[in-house]
Structure 1
């Protein structure tokens, strides 16, 4: 396991400590969870962009129209 040292403003550090305390986790665990979430979002974006680059724009617009019609009925 790697060790990472970062420099952040004191105010941000204090807010992260408060958030960790609120979630009943250590700051280390909080940073691990937040970095996992950021990486998952990045992986999803990369996957979406790859699929979009290989996809059929007309079919994509058709699917978006179906979603719009479905959710506008509500």
Structure 2
């Protein structure tokens, strides 16, 4: 496991400590969770962009329209 030192404004540090306390976790665990979420989102976007680059544009737009239609009915 690695150690990482980051610089944050004092008010942001205090707010993050409060968030960790509200979640009943340590500041270290909070950063681990936040970094995992960020990496998961990055990986998903990367996979999506690779598939989009190799995919059928018309079919992709068709799927997005279908999803939008479903979402607007639930809205």
TM-score (norm 2): 0.89
1:17 and 2:10 are equivalent in the alignment: no
Residue 57 of structure 1 is matched in structure 2 by 57
| CA distance in 2 between partners of 1:69 and 1:25 (Å) | 40
Q: Alpha-carbon deviation of 1:32?
A: 0.4
Residue 31 of structure 2 is matched in structure 1 by 31
| CA distance in 2 between partners of 1:67 and 1:58 (Å) | 14
TM-score (norm 1): 0.90
Q: Alpha-carbon deviation of 1:73?
A: 4.1
**Structure 1 runs (4+) greater than 4 angstroms displaced:** none
| CA distance in 2 between partners of 1:43 and 1:12 (Å) | 27
What is the total number of aligned residue pairs between the two structures?
Answer: 74
The more displaced of 62-71 and 18-27 is 62-71
Q: Which runs of 5+ in 1 are unaligned?
A: none
| CA distance in 1 between partners of 2:44 and 2:8 (Å) | 27
Q: Which runs of 5+ in 2 are unaligned?
A: none
